[in-house]
A and B are shown apart, each in its own frame.
Chain A
Amino acid sequence: MADPMRIRIAARDGLVNVRILMSHEMETGQRKDSAGNLVPAHYIRNVTATHQGKTVLSAQWGPAVAKNPFLEFSFKGGQKGDKVVVTWEDNKGDKRSDEAVIN
């Protein structure tokens, strides 16, 4: 399984700001290794963030998202101490889910 995500969540001005750093190669499938062989594509396709069971953001990604992807967004209605759960799934079916508490 991939390394954990780094998630920072801060409540400010009535909005909850979520910043996520995922650990993933995001290999495009177009790069060649030193032996000249094509490196197979391996990238996150789906990202979902939920707050108390409600989806607050969902995303579909292609291989153009940079390595170790960064994502920032904000939503209304979160309280300090609430949990936000972030899940990703890549094109090989690997998944990772991490949670963080609103500060």
Chain B
Amino acid sequence: MNHSRRKALQTGGGAGVLAMLFAAGVLKPGQALAQDWNQAAFSMKTVPEAMRALGAQSPAASAAILIKAPEIAENGAVVPIAIESKLPGTESITLLIEKNPQPLAASFSIPAGTAPEVSTRVKMGQSSDVYALVKAEGKFYVAKKEIKITLGGCGG
């Protein structure tokens, strides 16, 4: 009887300490767990499927999205790509590479106060269209650009 009561107290105590840590801001629930990562969208095999998984049913083509990348990249293992959105209220910028095994490459959320332009480097298995999907004021817009690859990026 006493024994089980002690056990219950210990367990309760442990949970209490954890709750106190959360309350004190030492630990945040979001930090204790894995961060958000859109498993479904990243595993899709085609651009339209990945866009649907991101919530973009039929994004409108937009000339206000600029994809800055070389026309011809010599090395598919390191292709520099910058995306700039001139759409007001840009919330996120997502990069998809059509002919990669999983097209979704990277997705950036842009909080208010951050410039709607990101630059990174990606791997491309072969020449392909790349898509920049932008969410602005709750709506999706897209632009595309073809990048030719002289040497594939997948160890070929």
Other-chain residue from B79, B80, B114, B153 in contact with A73 (beta carbon distance below 8 A): B114
Q: Does A80 contact B (CB under 8 A)?
A: no
Q: Is A101 an interface residue (CB 8 A)?
A: no
In the complex, how many residue pairs between chain A and chain B have their CB atoms under 8 Å apart?
Answer: 109
Q: With A65-B123, A67-B77, A70-B120 given, is the CB distance from A60 to B105 under 8 Å?
A: no
A23 close to chain B: CB less than 8 A: no
Beta-carbon nearest neighbor of A58 in chain B:
B109
Interchain CB contact under 8 A, B102 and A46: no
Chain A residues 1 to 21 lying within 8 A of chain B, measured CB to CB, are 15
User: How many chain B residues have a CB neighbour from A under 8 Å?
Assistant: 37
- Given A65-B105, A89-B34: A55 in contact with B123 (beta carbons within 8 A): no
Q: A58-B108, A59-B107, A69-B120 are in contact. Are A64 and B114 (CB under 8 A)?
A: no
A76 to B111, CA, bound (A): 11
The 11 sampled A-B contact pairs (Cβ below 8 Å) are A28-B154, A46-B37, A59-B106, A59-B109, A60-B36, A60-B42, A62-B105, A64-B97, A64-B124, A70-B119, A70-B120
Binding site for B on A (CB under 8 A): 15, 26, 28, 30-32, 45-46, 48, 54-67, 69-77, 89, 93
Residues in B lying within 8 Å of A, measured CB to CB: 34-38, 42, 77-80, 82, 97, 100-102, 104-111, 113-115, 117-124, 153-155
